[in-house]
Chains A and B, each alone.
Chain A
Amino acid sequence: DIVVTQSPLSLSVIPGEPASISCRSSQSLLHGTGNYYLDWYLQKPGQSPQLLIYRGFNRASGVPDRFSGSGSGTDFTLKISRVEADDVGVYYCMQTLQGRTFGQGTKVEI
């Protein structure tokens, strides 16, 4: 089973400043197609989760370009170039190479 570990588990951010979340998997998420099988989701308070990034670095429809995904092998990062107040919530990475496994979540607050 692939284990996914996020860090930090909690992050206090300042509006207008950048922020980043790390996601590490227990084995490489590189698929034979050359793509990385990792998604990022955000669960805002009181809401269902929403897709931010799929297949490593592809922004989902409607997601602001402030959000970007990067990484390779077992180490991935979600970056917010300029945090806004609406970005608070819990961020999850999820590997999709073998079934699905979520990271523990990173709570982001202002």
Chain B
Amino acid sequence: QVLLQESGPGLVTPSETLSLTCAVSGGSINNYYWSWIRKPPGRGLEWIGYIYYSGNTKYSPSLKSRVTMSVDTSKNQVSLNLDSVTAADTAVYYCARLGSVDNYYFYIDVWGRGTTVAVSS
């Protein structure tokens, strides 16, 4: 059973960079897409982007200028950096895996439990 564990600081200062890590256990990071999704308090889910294990990325247009995702196959983990944060970036951040039955259409089949990040001075 694949498990995803997000980690990072629970509090980030405005204008700084939010950095999170997703540790993958029970399976390999290879040959999969990995995604970050967030849920601001009182609001719905927001897709941040995804990264293939080889490093190819696709980001949400609204966050593209501030987001960087990376993978470390040696550590079996995925990372998220979000620059110049504001209070609007306060949210529960989820790491997720994109699975497929035909290697053509990809859906989110595994979710982490999420980590809460607050942006405040």
| Interface residues of A, Cβ cutoff 8 Å to B | 1, 33, 35, 37, 39, 41, 43, 48-51, 54-55, 60, 90, 92, 94, 96, 99-105
Contact = CB atoms under 8 A, between A and B. Distances in A.
Contacts of A35: 105
Contacts of A37: 105
B5 to A, nearest CB: 12
A94 B47 contact: yes
A92 B111 contact: no
Size bracket of the B interface? 20 to 34
B44 A103 contact: yes
B87 interface: no
11 contacts: A33-B104, A37-B105, A50-B111, A51-B107, A60-B109, A99-B61, A100-B35, A100-B47, A100-B50, A101-B47, A102-B47
A59 B44 CA distance: 23
Given A49-B94, A99-B58, 5 more contacts: A48-B112, A50-B111, A96-B107, A102-B44, A105-B45
Nearest to A61: B109
A54 B49 CA distance: 18
B107 A55 contact: yes
B72 interface: no
